[in-house]
Chains A and B, each alone.
Chain A
Amino acid sequence: MATIMTVDDTASMRQMISFTLNSVGYEVIQAGDGAEALKLAKDRKVDLVIADLNMPNMDGIALVKSLRALDTYKFVPILMLTTESQADKRDQGKTAGATGWIVKPFNPEQLVNVVRKVLG
């Protein structure tokens, strides 16, 4: 089964995302910020990255850029968690190479639908 990495500096979001995706059979690994995510991504193969935008140490946009610079992550889908009011950030993320986004707030069903759509 596919491995998904959730990157968020808030534990409740990470817990919600992991629990939801676990419950439909995906393996989920968690990272608290971009720097941690980049380290984990280098260590193992991840099939989908779901990253928050605002994080300490390394934010979501810098993470997308860094991942896209790695050979193994050139084509891996990366989704950003954004809010309605962050259209400019969303564009920056797209330019950096993000695949798409999930708009917060979202519920578990919406999350699973998006993930299924991306992972096929």
Chain B
Amino acid sequence: MAIDLRRFHSTFFEESLEGIAAMEAELLEMERLLLRSNGRPVDFDPERLNHIFRAAHSIKGGSGTFGFNQIAEFSHGLESLLDEARSGRRTIDAEIASLLLRAVDCLRGLIDAARRDAPIPASTEALRAELERAQTTPSRSATRAEPARTAEGGWRVRFRPHDRFFHSGNDPLRILRALAELGGITVSADLSRVPDWSAFDAVQSYLGWEIALPKSVSRESIDEVFAWVIGDCDLDIEALATAEAAPLVSVPLDIPAKVDDKSASSIRVATAKVDGLVDIVGELVITETMLSQLVEGFVPERLSRLQAGIAQLERHTRDLQDAVLGIRMLPIGFVFGRLPRLARDIAATLGKRVELEISGERTELDKTIIERVSDPLIHLVRNSIDHGIEPSDERVKAGKPAHGTIRLTAYHKAGSVVIEAEDDGRGLNRERILKKARERGLVPPEVHLDSAQIDELIFLPGFSTAETVNDVSGRGVGLDVVRNNIRSLGGGVEVTSTAGKGTRFSIRLPLTLAIVDGMSLKVGPEVYILPLAWIAETLRLQPDRVSQPAGGPEIVAVRGDYLPLLRLDRLFNVRARATALNEGIVVIVEADGKRAGLFVDELLDQQQVVLKSLEPHCQRLEGISAATILGDGTVALILDAGSLVRQAHNPIFAMAASAAIVQSSGATPPALH
């Protein structure tokens, strides 16, 4: 039978990583409890240990079955140690908890290596040995079968099932059949214990057998036939006229399965969601049938029924849209889950005490957003521990608990998801922020800023108030990157802070990336969509506000700021209605901390559009991120503000890009679906 086990690998990897995350979360919680108990032994909830054990056990079973022998071997050591803890043979102290955490990390590395078909991490063996040493009893490694024994004169087996033999689901007939398959057998039945019909109980076993097997049959294979019923029967296996035979040693052939590297991205969907979809599709089919019956031989009197039917169709379509988008939704817990470990490690590095409180982890977000919001969140937590939370002695002096608290919260609010990261640290030091900003020329000396404006300064590119560069923050990645990442997801990030009380970062994200809030802009005959998140303001210009240094781009002056102006008609090579600056509109967009003006004919309106990727059909175009289909069926391109701002600040690059677009626009328009 040829079944390619590789088809199950991606599920195995996925569930193993989930198991590893669960193990890690439980271990961190245990470590936290140990920390609080100040060295006293902790009575852990048995379900907690069971949970960790089950995860290790599943990984071991799966890795063995699917051919990852090194993972199986490593998880065997981990499982054995956990089994000792679970059965009360050893207590878990801080040292063991830390060892288990390292083992979990190592296991993750092993899964990752298997997934990429890479060699196993070098540290694995040392850690495996350490796990083995930590066990009070040496782990029973898989015992190899003994060499087969044979009998010169064949075998005689006496087999008598006990009364309740059938109650284990076993059947003597099955055993006799299995013996017959081993070789030619002769059987005689012992009917002596069969009672009178009046006393006969159909579910009891009364028979016994004596079976003779030829010498070609090995003792091992006979044992195997009876393996399940030892204890449920009287069994006597006798070798007749035994002669010494050379032991047969079977050599197992270990051919490891080749791991396929094509780990296609997949998603696990709750059955309830799929059931919901099926329900809606059922409703749609009913509505469709009703409508087609209605229009067959249609008479005007039925118009109101037709309208009602169409209204119903609209409702179902909307439900279907929600349900389909819902399939891509995952709980934010997937990201939150990684943070306690991270917070622990960072706090340990900095010698601080921090507790992470998490709520709203069931809040759902689009899978793509979940994946991309992870780094910004890590950055914020890192930032809070490094800059926000004070060292313990400083906190105690200020009358606060010695350990700091960071609260991560997620919730739905008006069609978006809000994620808050709030610490109870020292708050933003506005005086120092403003001083730094002035020193770096980010704020002119004569400009006065209110506190909210000062707080905003921390999002400026290159801004960092850390006095010393350390391992944790200060790697040249600032909050500007966080804000940019969030903006590229169509969201925003804000900060509020109270001196001495703490700081709160608030991230707002759209529920999905498949639909975006955009402003439609007109340039000549073309309509473009600009995502609202990037628009700072729009204004009508007086021509005298624009200047053009020799060879450079046009520069527009907006309240003391000088911004490069990008004319979309020139960039995209379309004939604009407005050529004079006072005839059109300038949209100021902001990306990567830089601003630029986009010159267009007019603003049409604000609308939600469904994104359609251009990638399979077109090469990647600078300035365009995707396309959409408007209500009237025409195709509109969606502008990529980040790339446009970069082009505006780097005109040579912009010219090259626009030349590329001119060339590609000569081809037939891309087919969209």
Taking Cβ atoms with an 8 Å cutoff, the residues of A that contact B are: 9-13, 15-16, 19-20, 23-24, 52, 54-56, 68, 74-78, 81, 83-85, 94, 97-101, 104-109, 112, 117-118, 120
Contacts and interface: CB of A to CB of B under 8 A. Distances in A.
Contacts of A56: 51, 54
Contacts of B63: 105
Nearest to A15: B8
B463 interface: no
B51 A74 contact: no
A83 B61 contact: yes
Interface in B25-71: 50-51, 53-54, 57-58, 60-66
Contact of B169 (A19, A77, A104, A106): A77
A99 B72 contact: no
The 3 A-B residue pairs with the shortest CB-CB distance in the complex, in nearest-first order: A105-B64, A100-B228, A99-B169
Contact of B8 (A12, A54, A106): A12
| Interface magnitude class on chain B | 35 or more
B61 A112 contact: no
A108 B72 contact: no
A100 B140 CA distance: 22
Given A19-B7, A99-B228, A108-B1, A68 B167 contact: yes
A24 B169 contact: no
Contact of B62 (A13, A19, A101, A108): A13
B216 interface: no
A13 B5 CA distance: 11
Q: DSSP class of B's interface residues: helix, strand, loop or mixed? A: helix
A81 B51 contact: no
Interface string B127-143: 00000000000011011
Given A54-B58, A68-B167, A101-B228, A112 B15 contact: no
Contacts of B1: 20, 23-24, 108-109, 112
Contacts of B232: 94
A108 B1 CA distance: 8
B358 interface: no
Nearest to B72: A105
A75 B169 contact: yes
14 contacts: A13-B58, A13-B61, A15-B8, A16-B5, A16-B8, A19-B8, A20-B3, A85-B142, A99-B168, A100-B228, A104-B64, A105-B72, A109-B1, A120-B174
Given A99-B169, A120-B173, 5 more contacts: A10-B15, A12-B15, A56-B51, A94-B228, A98-B168
Contacts of B243: none
A94 B229 CA distance: 9
Which of B66, B169, B173, B232 is packed against the most chain A CB atoms within 10 Å?
Answer: B169
Nearest to B67: A105
A34 to B, nearest CB: 13
A97 B54 contact: no
Contacts of A83: 57, 60-61, 64
A84 B140 contact: yes
A106 B3 contact: no
Given A9-B54, A23-B3, A75-B169, A120 B177 contact: yes
Nearest to A20: B3
A77 B170 contact: yes
B241 interface: no
Contact of B80 (A11, A85, A97): A85
